[in-house]
Amino acid sequence: METYDIAIIGTGSGNTILDDRFGEKRVAICEQGTFGGTCLNVGCIPTKMFVYAAEVAQTIRDAARFGIDAHVDRVRWDDIVSRVFGRIDPIGVSGEDYRSSEPNIDVYKQHTRFGPVQHDGRYLLRTDAGDEFTADQVVIAAGARAVVPPAILECGARYHTSDTIMRISELPEHLVIVGGGFVAAEFAHIFSSLGSRVTLVVRGSALLRHCDDVLCKRFTRIVANKWELHTHRNVVGAENRGSGVAVHLDDGRTLHADALLVATGRVSNADQLDLEQAGVAVEDGLVVVDQYQRTTARGIFALGDVSSPYQLKHVANHEARVVQHNLLRDWDDTEAMAVTDHRYVPSAVFTDPQIASVGLTENEAIAQGFKISTKIQDYGDVAYGWAMEDTTGIVKLVAERGTGRLLGAHIMGHQASSIIQPLIQAMSFGLTAPQMARGQYWIHPALAEVVENALLGLR
Protein backbone atom coordinates (compact mmCIF):
# COMPACT_ATOMS: atom_id res chain seq x y z
CA MET A 1 0.00 0.00 0.00
CA GLU A 2 1.28 3.46 -0.93
CA THR A 3 2.02 5.85 1.93
CA TYR A 4 2.14 9.62 1.59
CA ASP A 5 3.09 12.54 3.76
CA ILE A 6 0.11 14.58 2.55
CA ALA A 7 -3.10 13.79 0.69
CA ILE A 8 -5.15 16.59 -0.84
CA ILE A 9 -8.78 15.92 -1.76
CA GLY A 10 -9.84 18.43 -4.40
CA THR A 11 -7.91 20.55 -6.90
CA GLY A 12 -9.54 23.95 -6.62
CA SER A 13 -7.81 26.12 -4.03
CA GLY A 14 -6.38 22.93 -2.53
CA ASN A 15 -4.12 22.58 -5.55
CA THR A 16 -2.52 25.97 -4.83
CA ILE A 17 -0.96 24.71 -1.59
CA LEU A 18 1.92 22.83 -3.14
CA ASP A 19 5.06 24.85 -3.86
CA ASP A 20 8.81 24.32 -3.53
CA ARG A 21 8.53 23.93 0.23
CA PHE A 22 6.71 20.64 -0.33
CA GLY A 23 9.22 19.28 -2.82
CA GLU A 24 10.53 16.65 -0.40
CA LYS A 25 7.05 15.50 0.61
CA ARG A 26 5.26 12.56 -0.99
CA VAL A 27 1.85 13.87 -1.98
CA ALA A 28 -1.35 12.27 -3.24
CA ILE A 29 -3.82 14.49 -5.10
CA CYS A 30 -7.37 13.19 -5.42
CA GLU A 31 -9.76 14.67 -7.99
CA GLN A 32 -12.89 13.01 -9.33
CA GLY A 33 -13.74 15.84 -11.72
CA THR A 34 -11.82 18.34 -13.82
CA PHE A 35 -8.63 19.80 -12.42
CA GLY A 36 -9.06 23.34 -11.15
CA GLY A 37 -12.29 22.98 -9.21
CA THR A 38 -15.56 24.87 -9.38
CA CYS A 39 -14.27 28.41 -9.93
CA LEU A 40 -12.14 27.65 -12.96
CA ASN A 41 -14.39 25.14 -14.69
CA VAL A 42 -18.03 25.88 -13.87
CA GLY A 43 -17.99 28.94 -11.62
CA CYS A 44 -16.41 32.37 -11.33
CA ILE A 45 -14.19 32.39 -14.40
CA PRO A 46 -16.45 31.06 -17.18
CA THR A 47 -19.49 32.91 -15.84
CA LYS A 48 -17.63 36.23 -15.92
CA MET A 49 -16.53 35.55 -19.48
CA PHE A 50 -20.20 35.09 -20.38
CA VAL A 51 -21.07 38.20 -18.34
CA TYR A 52 -18.57 40.22 -20.34
CA ALA A 53 -20.14 39.09 -23.62
CA ALA A 54 -23.56 39.97 -22.21
CA GLU A 55 -22.36 43.44 -21.23
CA VAL A 56 -21.00 44.04 -24.72
CA ALA A 57 -24.39 43.13 -26.20
CA GLN A 58 -26.24 45.28 -23.68
CA THR A 59 -23.96 48.26 -24.32
CA ILE A 60 -24.74 48.05 -28.04
CA ARG A 61 -28.47 47.96 -27.35
CA ASP A 62 -28.22 51.00 -25.06
CA ALA A 63 -26.04 53.03 -27.42
CA ALA A 64 -28.84 55.00 -29.10
CA ARG A 65 -29.52 57.20 -26.08
CA PHE A 66 -25.94 58.45 -26.31
CA GLY A 67 -26.29 59.39 -29.97
CA ILE A 68 -24.77 56.20 -31.38
CA ASP A 69 -26.88 54.09 -33.71
CA ALA A 70 -25.95 50.43 -33.36
CA HIS A 71 -27.69 47.10 -33.13
CA VAL A 72 -26.91 43.45 -32.46
CA ASP A 73 -27.26 41.59 -35.75
CA ARG A 74 -26.86 38.12 -34.31
CA VAL A 75 -25.61 36.35 -31.20
CA ARG A 76 -23.32 33.49 -32.23
CA TRP A 77 -23.85 31.30 -29.19
CA ASP A 78 -21.51 28.57 -30.45
CA ASP A 79 -18.71 31.10 -30.85
CA ILE A 80 -19.30 32.53 -27.37
CA VAL A 81 -19.13 29.06 -25.83
CA SER A 82 -16.03 28.20 -27.86
CA ARG A 83 -14.30 31.41 -26.79
CA VAL A 84 -14.95 30.65 -23.13
CA PHE A 85 -14.10 26.98 -22.95
CA GLY A 86 -11.47 27.08 -25.66
CA ARG A 87 -9.48 29.13 -23.17
CA ILE A 88 -10.56 27.42 -19.95
CA ASP A 89 -10.48 23.71 -20.77
CA PRO A 90 -6.75 23.60 -21.58
CA ILE A 91 -5.94 25.05 -18.16
CA GLY A 92 -7.36 22.05 -16.32
CA VAL A 93 -5.60 19.64 -18.68
CA SER A 94 -2.24 21.37 -18.30
CA GLY A 95 -2.69 21.60 -14.52
CA GLU A 96 -3.26 17.87 -14.26
CA ASP A 97 -0.36 17.12 -16.59
CA TYR A 98 1.93 19.33 -14.55
CA ARG A 99 1.05 17.73 -11.24
CA SER A 100 1.29 14.23 -12.73
CA SER A 101 4.77 14.98 -14.00
CA GLU A 102 6.14 15.94 -10.60
CA PRO A 103 8.19 13.05 -9.17
CA ASN A 104 6.86 13.39 -5.62
CA ILE A 105 3.17 13.56 -6.58
CA ASP A 106 0.65 10.87 -7.55
CA VAL A 107 -2.72 11.87 -8.98
CA TYR A 108 -5.81 9.74 -8.30
CA LYS A 109 -8.61 10.51 -10.75
CA GLN A 110 -11.48 9.00 -8.80
CA HIS A 111 -13.81 9.93 -5.97
CA THR A 112 -11.95 9.33 -2.70
CA ARG A 113 -13.31 8.54 0.76
CA PHE A 114 -11.84 7.90 4.17
CA GLY A 115 -11.44 4.41 5.58
CA PRO A 116 -10.67 3.40 9.18
CA VAL A 117 -7.71 5.09 10.85
CA GLN A 118 -4.72 2.74 10.79
CA HIS A 119 -2.97 1.35 13.86
CA ASP A 120 0.01 3.64 13.25
CA GLY A 121 -2.30 6.69 13.22
CA ARG A 122 -2.15 7.23 9.47
CA TYR A 123 -5.34 7.98 7.58
CA LEU A 124 -6.61 5.40 5.11
CA LEU A 125 -8.08 6.69 1.85
CA ARG A 126 -9.96 4.64 -0.73
CA THR A 127 -10.85 5.53 -4.31
CA ASP A 128 -13.87 4.28 -6.22
CA ALA A 129 -11.44 2.39 -8.48
CA GLY A 130 -10.35 0.28 -5.51
CA ASP A 131 -7.02 1.97 -4.78
CA GLU A 132 -6.04 2.27 -1.13
CA PHE A 133 -3.30 4.42 0.38
CA THR A 134 -2.47 6.15 3.63
CA ALA A 135 -1.35 9.65 4.56
CA ASP A 136 0.05 11.35 7.65
CA GLN A 137 -1.74 14.61 6.88
CA VAL A 138 -4.85 15.28 4.80
CA VAL A 139 -6.29 18.46 3.32
CA ILE A 140 -10.01 18.29 2.60
CA ALA A 141 -10.80 20.74 -0.19
CA ALA A 142 -13.61 18.81 -1.84
CA GLY A 143 -15.87 21.78 -2.57
CA ALA A 144 -19.64 21.80 -2.98
CA ARG A 145 -22.29 20.71 -5.47
CA ALA A 146 -25.52 22.15 -6.83
CA VAL A 147 -28.75 21.50 -4.94
CA VAL A 148 -31.80 20.39 -6.92
CA PRO A 149 -35.22 20.41 -5.19
CA PRO A 150 -36.92 16.98 -5.07
CA ALA A 151 -39.90 18.27 -7.07
CA ILE A 152 -37.56 18.72 -10.04
CA LEU A 153 -35.02 15.98 -9.31
CA GLU A 154 -37.62 13.22 -9.11
CA CYS A 155 -39.89 14.20 -12.00
CA GLY A 156 -37.61 13.09 -14.84
CA ALA A 157 -37.67 16.43 -16.66
CA ARG A 158 -34.56 17.84 -18.30
CA TYR A 159 -32.89 20.55 -16.26
CA HIS A 160 -29.57 22.32 -15.96
CA THR A 161 -27.54 23.61 -13.05
CA SER A 162 -24.72 26.15 -13.13
CA ASP A 163 -22.44 23.17 -13.87
CA THR A 164 -24.07 22.48 -17.25
CA ILE A 165 -25.99 25.54 -18.47
CA MET A 166 -22.95 27.23 -20.03
CA ARG A 167 -22.39 24.32 -22.41
CA ILE A 168 -25.91 24.00 -23.84
CA SER A 169 -26.00 23.52 -27.59
CA GLU A 170 -28.03 26.61 -28.46
CA LEU A 171 -29.28 29.83 -26.93
CA PRO A 172 -32.79 29.16 -25.55
CA GLU A 173 -35.59 31.41 -26.74
CA HIS A 174 -37.17 31.13 -23.27
CA LEU A 175 -35.25 30.17 -20.12
CA VAL A 176 -36.96 29.48 -16.79
CA ILE A 177 -34.70 29.90 -13.76
CA VAL A 178 -35.68 28.51 -10.37
CA GLY A 179 -34.02 30.51 -7.60
CA GLY A 180 -33.41 34.11 -6.61
CA GLY A 181 -29.81 34.21 -5.41
CA PHE A 182 -26.58 35.35 -7.01
CA VAL A 183 -26.34 32.42 -9.45
CA ALA A 184 -29.88 33.04 -10.68
CA ALA A 185 -29.27 36.78 -11.01
CA GLU A 186 -26.04 36.35 -12.97
CA PHE A 187 -27.44 33.84 -15.44
CA ALA A 188 -30.64 35.86 -15.87
CA HIS A 189 -28.43 38.80 -16.85
CA ILE A 190 -26.33 36.68 -19.22
CA PHE A 191 -29.20 35.08 -21.10
CA SER A 192 -31.51 38.10 -21.22
CA SER A 193 -28.71 40.33 -22.52
CA LEU A 194 -27.89 37.79 -25.22
CA GLY A 195 -31.52 37.70 -26.35
CA SER A 196 -33.36 35.04 -24.35
CA ARG A 197 -36.65 35.69 -22.64
CA VAL A 198 -36.02 34.98 -18.96
CA THR A 199 -38.50 33.96 -16.25
CA LEU A 200 -37.51 33.55 -12.60
CA VAL A 201 -39.43 31.54 -10.01
CA VAL A 202 -38.60 32.78 -6.51
CA ARG A 203 -39.83 31.49 -3.14
CA GLY A 204 -39.63 34.87 -1.42
CA SER A 205 -40.77 38.37 -2.20
CA ALA A 206 -37.51 39.59 -3.73
CA LEU A 207 -34.24 38.57 -5.37
CA LEU A 208 -30.85 38.61 -3.59
CA ARG A 209 -32.34 38.52 -0.11
CA HIS A 210 -28.85 38.21 1.39
CA CYS A 211 -28.22 41.84 0.41
CA ASP A 212 -29.06 44.94 2.39
CA ASP A 213 -32.82 45.60 2.19
CA VAL A 214 -32.44 48.79 0.18
CA LEU A 215 -30.37 47.08 -2.54
CA CYS A 216 -32.50 43.94 -2.49
CA LYS A 217 -35.75 45.84 -3.07
CA ARG A 218 -34.30 48.27 -5.61
CA PHE A 219 -32.67 45.49 -7.60
CA THR A 220 -35.89 43.47 -7.70
CA ARG A 221 -37.83 46.53 -8.85
CA ILE A 222 -35.30 47.28 -11.61
CA VAL A 223 -35.08 43.78 -13.07
CA ALA A 224 -38.86 43.28 -12.97
CA ASN A 225 -38.89 45.53 -16.04
CA LYS A 226 -36.80 43.07 -18.08
CA TRP A 227 -37.31 39.64 -16.50
CA GLU A 228 -40.61 37.94 -15.75
CA LEU A 229 -40.74 37.35 -11.98
CA HIS A 230 -42.95 34.86 -10.14
CA THR A 231 -42.42 35.67 -6.45
CA HIS A 232 -43.78 33.69 -3.49
CA ARG A 233 -43.88 30.66 -5.73
CA ASN A 234 -42.55 27.09 -5.60
CA VAL A 235 -42.11 24.53 -8.36
CA VAL A 236 -44.25 21.46 -7.72
CA GLY A 237 -43.22 19.52 -10.79
CA ALA A 238 -41.86 19.60 -14.33
CA GLU A 239 -42.12 17.48 -17.45
CA ASN A 240 -40.53 17.28 -20.85
CA ARG A 241 -42.59 18.75 -23.68
CA GLY A 242 -40.97 18.00 -27.01
CA SER A 243 -37.56 19.61 -26.99
CA GLY A 244 -38.58 21.92 -24.16
CA VAL A 245 -39.92 21.63 -20.63
CA ALA A 246 -43.11 22.52 -18.77
CA VAL A 247 -42.63 23.84 -15.25
CA HIS A 248 -45.61 23.58 -12.88
CA LEU A 249 -46.00 26.15 -10.09
CA ASP A 250 -47.88 25.86 -6.82
CA ASP A 251 -50.49 28.40 -7.94
CA GLY A 252 -51.62 26.13 -10.76
CA ARG A 253 -49.80 27.94 -13.54
CA THR A 254 -47.50 26.17 -16.00
CA LEU A 255 -44.50 27.82 -17.61
CA HIS A 256 -43.40 26.53 -21.01
CA ALA A 257 -39.71 26.99 -21.74
CA ASP A 258 -36.92 25.81 -23.99
CA ALA A 259 -34.65 25.17 -21.00
CA LEU A 260 -34.85 25.00 -17.20
CA LEU A 261 -32.03 26.21 -14.95
CA VAL A 262 -32.09 25.22 -11.27
CA ALA A 263 -30.18 27.78 -9.21
CA THR A 264 -31.28 27.00 -5.68
CA GLY A 265 -27.90 26.94 -3.98
CA ARG A 266 -24.95 24.64 -3.39
CA VAL A 267 -24.22 22.21 -0.57
CA SER A 268 -20.89 21.06 0.86
CA ASN A 269 -19.53 17.71 -0.30
CA ALA A 270 -18.69 16.82 3.32
CA ASP A 271 -21.34 14.09 3.26
CA GLN A 272 -19.58 12.30 0.37
CA LEU A 273 -16.30 11.50 2.15
CA ASP A 274 -17.10 9.12 5.06
CA LEU A 275 -15.50 11.64 7.41
CA GLU A 276 -16.73 9.87 10.52
CA GLN A 277 -14.18 7.13 9.79
CA ALA A 278 -11.40 9.64 10.42
CA GLY A 279 -13.06 11.41 13.35
CA VAL A 280 -13.74 14.61 11.39
CA ALA A 281 -16.75 16.42 12.80
CA VAL A 282 -19.44 17.90 10.56
CA GLU A 283 -21.95 20.52 11.68
CA ASP A 284 -24.84 21.85 9.61
CA GLY A 285 -23.35 20.01 6.64
CA LEU A 286 -19.94 21.71 6.87
CA VAL A 287 -16.63 20.29 8.05
CA VAL A 288 -15.87 21.86 11.43
CA VAL A 289 -12.63 23.85 11.45
CA ASP A 290 -10.96 26.21 13.90
CA GLN A 291 -9.15 29.48 13.20
CA TYR A 292 -6.12 27.53 11.95
CA GLN A 293 -8.30 25.52 9.51
CA ARG A 294 -7.71 22.40 11.63
CA THR A 295 -10.51 19.85 11.79
CA THR A 296 -11.35 17.77 14.86
CA ALA A 297 -9.00 15.03 13.61
CA ARG A 298 -5.31 15.54 14.29
CA GLY A 299 -3.37 16.17 11.07
CA ILE A 300 -6.44 16.91 8.93
CA PHE A 301 -7.16 20.41 7.63
CA ALA A 302 -10.11 21.62 5.56
CA LEU A 303 -10.72 24.68 3.42
CA GLY A 304 -13.12 26.21 0.94
CA ASP A 305 -16.75 25.34 0.28
CA VAL A 306 -16.55 21.99 2.06
CA SER A 307 -16.08 23.81 5.38
CA SER A 308 -16.89 27.48 4.75
CA PRO A 309 -20.37 29.04 4.70
CA TYR A 310 -19.14 31.80 2.36
CA GLN A 311 -18.70 29.70 -0.79
CA LEU A 312 -16.39 32.31 -2.30
CA LYS A 313 -13.16 31.69 -4.19
CA HIS A 314 -11.26 34.50 -2.50
CA VAL A 315 -12.16 33.00 0.87
CA ALA A 316 -10.98 29.56 -0.23
CA ASN A 317 -7.72 31.06 -1.52
CA HIS A 318 -7.14 32.83 1.80
CA GLU A 319 -7.82 29.62 3.72
CA ALA A 320 -5.49 27.70 1.38
CA ARG A 321 -2.65 30.08 2.25
CA VAL A 322 -3.32 29.49 5.95
CA VAL A 323 -3.34 25.71 5.46
CA GLN A 324 -0.19 25.90 3.34
CA HIS A 325 1.63 27.62 6.21
CA ASN A 326 0.22 25.41 8.94
CA LEU A 327 0.91 22.09 7.22
CA LEU A 328 4.60 22.79 7.77
CA ARG A 329 4.16 23.53 11.49
CA ASP A 330 3.70 21.24 14.47
CA TRP A 331 -0.01 20.57 15.06
CA ASP A 332 0.16 21.84 18.63
CA ASP A 333 2.37 24.88 18.01
CA THR A 334 -0.43 27.38 17.44
CA GLU A 335 1.87 30.32 18.11
CA ALA A 336 3.73 29.46 14.91
CA MET A 337 0.53 28.93 12.93
CA ALA A 338 -1.27 31.36 10.62
CA VAL A 339 -4.84 32.34 11.44
CA THR A 340 -7.75 32.88 9.07
CA ASP A 341 -9.28 36.36 9.03
CA HIS A 342 -12.97 36.34 8.19
CA ARG A 343 -13.83 39.70 9.74
CA TYR A 344 -14.65 41.48 6.49
CA VAL A 345 -15.49 39.11 3.68
CA PRO A 346 -16.63 40.95 0.54
CA SER A 347 -18.84 39.52 -2.17
CA ALA A 348 -20.09 40.61 -5.57
CA VAL A 349 -22.91 39.65 -7.90
CA PHE A 350 -22.00 40.19 -11.56
CA THR A 351 -25.50 40.89 -12.75
CA ASP A 352 -27.07 44.10 -14.09
CA PRO A 353 -26.86 46.33 -12.17
CA GLN A 354 -23.76 44.88 -10.51
CA ILE A 355 -23.78 44.52 -6.72
CA ALA A 356 -20.98 44.36 -4.16
CA SER A 357 -21.09 44.18 -0.36
CA VAL A 358 -18.86 43.89 2.68
CA GLY A 359 -19.64 43.86 6.38
CA LEU A 360 -22.99 44.26 8.10
CA THR A 361 -26.27 45.26 6.53
CA GLU A 362 -28.29 47.95 8.30
CA ASN A 363 -30.60 45.37 9.87
CA GLU A 364 -27.66 43.21 11.02
CA ALA A 365 -25.94 46.19 12.63
CA ILE A 366 -29.09 47.15 14.52
CA ALA A 367 -29.64 43.54 15.61
CA GLN A 368 -26.09 43.48 17.02
CA GLY A 369 -26.84 46.53 19.16
CA PHE A 370 -24.90 49.20 17.26
CA LYS A 371 -26.07 52.80 17.22
CA ILE A 372 -25.64 53.54 13.55
CA SER A 373 -25.48 56.22 10.95
CA THR A 374 -26.34 55.41 7.32
CA LYS A 375 -25.90 57.24 4.04
CA ILE A 376 -27.25 56.45 0.59
CA GLN A 377 -25.45 58.22 -2.23
CA ASP A 378 -26.74 58.12 -5.81
CA TYR A 379 -24.32 57.52 -8.66
CA GLY A 380 -26.02 60.28 -10.61
CA ASP A 381 -25.05 62.89 -7.99
CA VAL A 382 -21.34 62.76 -8.91
CA ALA A 383 -19.82 63.94 -12.16
CA TYR A 384 -19.08 60.60 -13.80
CA GLY A 385 -22.41 59.10 -12.81
CA TRP A 386 -24.14 62.21 -14.15
CA ALA A 387 -22.19 61.88 -17.40
CA MET A 388 -23.38 58.28 -17.67
CA GLU A 389 -26.97 59.42 -17.00
CA ASP A 390 -27.10 56.79 -14.28
CA THR A 391 -30.44 56.73 -12.47
CA THR A 392 -30.20 53.49 -10.50
CA GLY A 393 -26.69 53.17 -8.99
CA ILE A 394 -26.25 53.76 -5.26
CA VAL A 395 -23.70 53.45 -2.48
CA LYS A 396 -25.04 52.68 0.99
CA LEU A 397 -22.74 52.90 3.99
CA VAL A 398 -23.40 51.79 7.55
CA ALA A 399 -21.20 53.26 10.30
CA GLU A 400 -21.08 53.34 14.06
CA ARG A 401 -22.46 56.64 15.26
CA GLY A 402 -19.95 58.69 17.20
CA THR A 403 -16.83 56.82 16.16
CA GLY A 404 -17.24 56.84 12.37
CA ARG A 405 -16.19 53.20 12.23
CA LEU A 406 -17.43 51.58 9.05
CA LEU A 407 -19.62 48.55 9.73
CA GLY A 408 -20.84 47.80 6.22
CA ALA A 409 -20.71 48.95 2.62
CA HIS A 410 -23.20 48.04 -0.08
CA ILE A 411 -22.99 49.20 -3.70
CA MET A 412 -25.29 48.66 -6.66
CA GLY A 413 -24.24 49.98 -10.04
CA HIS A 414 -21.52 50.21 -12.65
CA GLN A 415 -18.26 48.52 -11.55
CA ALA A 416 -19.54 48.05 -7.99
CA SER A 417 -17.08 45.20 -7.41
CA SER A 418 -14.17 47.53 -8.16
CA ILE A 419 -15.19 50.73 -6.41
CA ILE A 420 -15.97 48.89 -3.17
CA GLN A 421 -12.32 47.86 -2.74
CA PRO A 422 -11.16 51.02 -0.85
CA LEU A 423 -14.00 50.46 1.62
CA ILE A 424 -12.89 46.86 2.19
CA GLN A 425 -9.40 48.21 2.80
CA ALA A 426 -10.69 50.86 5.24
CA MET A 427 -12.62 48.29 7.27
CA SER A 428 -9.74 45.82 7.29
CA PHE A 429 -7.20 48.37 8.49
CA GLY A 430 -9.45 50.23 10.90
CA LEU A 431 -9.77 53.55 9.07
CA THR A 432 -12.82 55.62 10.01
CA ALA A 433 -15.16 57.31 7.56
CA PRO A 434 -13.65 60.79 8.16
CA GLN A 435 -10.13 59.43 7.73
CA MET A 436 -11.08 57.77 4.45
CA ALA A 437 -12.93 60.81 3.13
CA ARG A 438 -10.39 63.51 3.97
CA GLY A 439 -7.13 61.61 4.38
CA GLN A 440 -6.51 61.20 0.67
CA TYR A 441 -7.20 62.70 -2.75
CA TRP A 442 -10.15 61.39 -4.73
CA ILE A 443 -9.66 61.70 -8.48
CA HIS A 444 -12.15 64.01 -10.17
CA PRO A 445 -14.29 63.20 -12.06
CA ALA A 446 -13.83 59.46 -11.39
CA LEU A 447 -16.81 57.32 -10.42
CA ALA A 448 -15.13 56.62 -7.06
CA GLU A 449 -16.27 60.09 -5.97
CA VAL A 450 -19.60 58.47 -5.18
CA VAL A 451 -17.79 56.64 -2.37
CA GLU A 452 -16.17 59.86 -1.17
CA ASN A 453 -19.52 61.65 -1.03
CA ALA A 454 -21.13 58.76 0.79
CA LEU A 455 -18.36 58.87 3.41
CA LEU A 456 -18.78 62.64 3.84
CA GLY A 457 -22.52 62.17 4.26
CA LEU A 458 -22.21 59.95 7.32
CA ARG A 459 -23.06 61.72 10.57
Binding residues for NAD(+): 179-186, 265, 305
8 A C-beta contact, residue 362 and residue 372: yes
Q: Specify the pairing of strand 259-262 against strand 254-257.
A: unpaired
Task: Please answer whether residues 317 and 341 qualify as being in contact, where contact means their C-beta atoms are separated by less than 8 angstroms.
Answer: no
Cβ pair 159, 261 in contact under 8 A: yes
d(CA 192, CA 284) in angstroms, rounded, equals 35
Tell me if 191 sits within 8 A of 175, measured CB to CB. yes
Q: State the CB neighbour count (10 A cutoff) for residue 368.
A: 10
Catalytic residue, candidates 232, 256, 342, 444: 444
* Structural contact between residues 256 and 246, judged by C-beta atoms closer than 8 angstroms: yes
| Residue of 134, 164, 122 whose CA lies nearest to 30 | 134
Report whether 366 contacts 372 (CB < 8 A). Answer: yes
- Whether 350 contacts 47, CB under 8 Å: yes
Distances (CA, A) of 340 to 290, 316, 326, 331: 9, 10, 11, 16
C-beta separation of 47 from 81 below 8 A:
no
444 belongs to the catalytic site = yes
In angstroms, the CA 267 to CA 72 distance is 38
Binding residues for FAD: 48
Positions marked active-site: 444
